[in-house]
Amino acid sequence: MPIHIQTPLIESDAFSTPDQRIWLKLEALQPSGSFKLRGVGHACEVHAARGAHRLLSSSGGNAGLAVAYAGQRLGLPVVVVVPESTREWPKMLIRRQGAEVVVHGKSWMEANAYLMAMRLPTDAFIHPFDDPLLWEGHATMIAEAASQGPKPDVVVLSVGGGGLMCGVLHGMHAIGWQDVPLVAVETTGSHSLNAAIAAGNLVTLEAITSIATSLGARQVSKRAFEWTKQHEVIATTVSDDDAVRACLDIADEHRLIVEPACGAAVAAAMQRNVDVLCTAANVLIILCGGTSTRYSDLQAFAFPSPKTTSSR
């Protein structure tokens, strides 16, 4: 029994037009709130079968939460090390799954270094995006989507470190969708894939300046970049504002709260700022979800208070 669940594929009447059907793969409905559970759940199961005694993560976001959920299901202890800057809400979500949250260091680098130093040979470290086990797990959403709806003319998804992208492309090639273009969406300020494609090699962004924190990998994985030479991948960016506006539309029309990291993919599809999005009759959008944004956060993003200076 996999740790993730099968999610619905819905035809969005709200986002479709007479000449274009929009299909949403509702990964936001995974029990941990994002698609991450597919890959992370698979990786944790494999490590448990190999005899791991404990699961480790240095993600205070949806990856860490997925590890916590998987550990609970597998009966394995989980330690998540996060930097001091991590907000209360994600820490609470992780603790609620029975995991131990250790706060250490000013930045993710320090938290991760601390985790690596405490790592025992019997521990399994679960990477948030760069691991073939994750990609195998993420790929299951494509086989599932193929059994639920038509073959799309284009697939649209968000890119952080590129784990979702590697998994989806792996899944597409496994079922004969290698001719379907992929639109890879980042927000401006988290655009490490767009920058790599423009430069012709991997690029490390100086800083992440987007509110879409789940897309905040300063460099995409090598495998994600390699895929851009083996498949028609069209990278594009949207603004934070557009991503937030899409989140509000998703909330209004589909009654789901998702992170701007997820709204970004919907925003790009709605803007049709890539040629293939103008001609595609069927568009499959991975609604990747995310737990860091509560409805109050979404309102604050959309209508920042004029009185206080931004804390972002």
Which residue ranges make up the site for ligand PLP (CB under 6 A)? 34, 36, 62, 129, 158-165, 214-215, 217, 259, 261-262, 288-290
**Cβ–Cβ < 8 Å for 271, 265:** no
Q: What count of other Cβ atoms lies within 10 Å of the Cβ of residue 301?
A: 21
**Cβ–Cβ < 8 Å for 3, 30:** no
Q: How far apart are alpha carbons 258 and 290 in whole angstroms? A: 5
User: Could you tell me the smallest distance in angstroms from the CB atom of residue 65 to ligand PLP?
Assistant: 9
Query: 278 or 295: whose CB is closer to ligand PLP?
Result: 295
Query: 38 or 47: whose CB is closer to ligand PLP?
Result: 38
User: Could you tell me the smallest distance in angstroms from the CB atom of residue 63 to ligand PLP?
Assistant: 6
Q: What count of other Cβ atoms lies within 10 Å of the Cβ of residue 133?
A: 18
User: Could you tell me the smallest distance in angstroms from the CB atom of residue 262 to ligand PLP?
Assistant: 5
**Cβ–Cβ < 8 Å for 290, 259:** yes
Q: How far apart are alpha carbons 310 and 312 in whole angstroms? A: 5
Query: 36 or 47: whose CB is closer to ligand PLP?
Result: 36
Query: 21 or 219: whose CB is closer to ligand PLP?
Result: 219
User: Could you tell me the smallest distance in angstroms from the CB atom of residue 116 to ligand PLP?
Assistant: 20
Query: 21 or 38: whose CB is closer to ligand PLP?
Result: 38
User: Could you tell me the smallest distance in angstroms from the CB atom of residue 53 to ligand PLP?
Assistant: 26
Query: 4 or 21: whose CB is closer to ligand PLP?
Result: 4
**Cβ–Cβ < 8 Å for 79, 100:** yes
Q: How far apart are alpha carbons 37 and 58 in whole angstroms? A: 16
Q: Which residues contact 251 (CB under 8 A, 6 or more apart)?
A: 257, 258, 295, 298
Query: 25 or 36: whose CB is closer to ligand PLP?
Result: 36
The CA-based angle 43-196-220, given to 5 degrees, is 15
Q: How far apart are alpha carbons 16 and 95 in whole angstroms? A: 39
Residue 186 forms beta bridges with which residues? 237
Q: How far apart are alpha carbons 68 and 82 in whole angstroms? A: 13
The CA-based angle 209-165-292, given to 5 degrees, is 45
User: Could you tell me the smallest distance in angstroms from the CB atom of residue 42 to ligand PLP?
Assistant: 14
User: Could you tell me the smallest distance in angstroms from the CB atom of residue 18 to ligand PLP?
Assistant: 30
Query: 196 or 217: whose CB is closer to ligand PLP?
Result: 217
User: Sign of the CA dihedral 32, 170, 1, 41?
Assistant: negative
User: Could you tell me the smallest distance in angstroms from the CB atom of residue 89 to ligand PLP?
Assistant: 14
